[in-house]
Amino acid sequence: MTVEAHKESHGFQTEAKQLLHLMIHSLYSNKEIFLRELVSNASDAADKLRFEALSKPELLAEDPELRIRIEFDREEGTVTITDNGIGMSRDEVIENLGTIARSGTAAFMQQLTGDQKKDAHLIGQFGVGFYSAFIVADKVDVFTRRAGLDTDQGVHWECHGEAEYSVENVEWPQRGTRVVLHLKDEAKEFADGWRLRSIIKKYSDHIAIPVEMLKEQAPAAEGEEKEGEDKQAPEFEAVNAAQALWTRPRSDIKSEEYKEFYKLISHDFDDPLTWSHNRVEGKLDYTSLLYIPARAPFDLYQRDAARGLKLYVQRTFIMDDAEQFLPLYLRFVKGVLDSNDLPLNVSREILQKDRNTDAIKSALTKRVLDMLDKLAKKDADQYQKFWDLFGNVMKEGPAEDFANKDKVAKLLRFSTTHTDEPKQDQSLEDYVGRMQDGQKAIYYVCADNFATAKSSPYLEVFRKKGIEVLLLTDQVDEWFVGHMHEFDGKPFQDVAKGALDLGEAETDEDKAEREKVEKESGALVERVKEVLEGRVEDVRATTRLVDSPACLVVSEQDMGPQMRRILEQAGQALPEAKPIFELNPSHPLVQRLDQEADEDRFADLTNILMDQANLAAGNQLADPADYVRRLNTLLLELNA
């Protein structure tokens, strides 16, 4: 059949051209990874064909033995990677090869640092693996035909690096994809059998299908080949082990093999922090291989982004991002799950309702938490690295996973008043172990940053008494403690909420002093109430302050200011909540206020103290200009 040529030329978008330029000229210091990326893509194409063949077995009938073949030509300077996987239609070629990093080109560009070694780590995270071909090639040809389409539905995609690309229909006899790399002069080293074999063994040994190359033949003896005799057909042999790593016994697998397999499935260049390989037999029959990455993905905080494990059912690939087997707060975990207890016609809807899925999810969740607990006890530095990357996500755990709330709580890390640097490295067990005799609560303060939290006026009485306080500075913190409630029988208590309660840490002398302050400050409190009427819920004298004249606290039942700001920024309508204004009667400014007879001047001083308390709490002033005017008037009077 003659194919009517329909060739179209397309130009890359400006952003895509910039990205291609970076990748070709500066992004990679390790050029050989192009082969790892292209072999990985070919393996994915084979997995996708297996999945479609579950419902359409005829797709595999013409060529049932899946494989990847790599060939080279020294004279032409080419390397060719061919697979007999799912292949692509014309529309799929334009969609997949014509648009770089469809889900994150802008984010990719923003994260580039100019450091080749660091930037190379971003490759797999942004779906730009195919374009690594242009690191070594100045021209790339792709010939492909999707399984199930006629031979006249083949497609040829051609691109010369940063220039435009073309797409045309061609006659293509076999299912699958062939990628032909026309090597640059400085990359001709890759048109070599030994070089290619060593790269495959290094990066792709655990691909579950054969990666084949021509069998190397000994040179023929002189006169051995007879004139006119037909040459033997080329003979291919597998270069890789072609056995899924997770199916092998753990005792047979070296650490380096585990690390290389992680890089294969995650497209990450860094070694994982830790991993767990487990085989379960009994009521459920499955194998899992779970990894904790040493690098956070760019979309970690996009809760609706693709995530999950590679799922196989009875060695048959089902999906890349099976999100049903781990809770959302563990979305950073990478790995493989292979089960014999899930139906082959599995779909996302069926998985969500299957009781075996729930049982596997529960078991895998506990395994990940146990893996992290082991890492924390075995290597504190590595665990700190994990926490710095994924700590905010782990804090979502107590709200999402009630069954494992206590396990998650033991893995959490915080800054405290015992911390000199803004480093979250103290566990709740550490805190409880240092609690003072008679201390019944775990005290915490929320602030926008470490410096603000460390200098918060709410800490003054706790610092005076040597009581440790958690410094919570992440946006998720107030939401987290609202679901955590308590740890080891000790309730969490916000030092900026409600009346000061030191429990048994408050001595009889403290109680007597508090009662004395409240009694002697009654008249002052009433005067301040009149001035601040409508701005505050109440005014009261306090002994929680030592060095500050005043502070604002929130009622026990009200939402904290940090959570209010987050919800307001999200467009949530919130009920009005007024703070409680607390005065420190022992402070010279408050004593001066108490002696002021001029009511107008008293009102100005009161409003200045109120605005300063707002600023100390990290709040914005409703009328900054009014605060500046009052303060300037006071300064002029002092200089008069």
User: Residues annotated as binding site?
Assistant: 37, 41, 83, 88, 96, 103-104, 125-130, 177, 348
- Strand runs labelled E in 415-489: 415-416, 442-446, 470-472, 486-487
* Spatial distance between the Cα atoms of 268 and 125, rounded to a whole number of angstroms: 7
* Spatial distance between the Cα atoms of 471 and 316, rounded to a whole number of angstroms: 49
Q: Which two tokens stand for residue 614?
A: 């707002």
Identify residue 515 by its one-letter amino acid code: E
* Spatial distance between the Cα atoms of 95 and 88, rounded to a whole number of angstroms: 10
How many Cβ atoms from other residues are within 10 Å of residue 218's Cβ? 5
Binding-site residues for ATP = 37, 41, 83, 88, 96, 103-104, 125-130, 177, 348
From residue 347, give the alpha-carbon distance in Å to each of 319, 322, 323, 350, 353.
9, 10, 12, 5, 10
b/e map 36-74, b = 16+ CB within 10 Å: bbbbbbbbbbbbbbbbbbbeeeebbeeeeebbbbbbbee
* Listed residue (459, 434, 427, 420) closest to 546, CA to CA: 459
* Listed residue (481, 507, 509) closest to 495, CA to CA: 481
Q: Which two tokens stand for residue 420?
A: 């000199």
Q: Please say whether the beta carbons of 168 and 90 come within 8 A.
A: no
How many Cβ atoms from other residues are within 10 Å of residue 80's Cβ? 16
SS (H, E, C) 257-268: HHHHHHHHHHCC
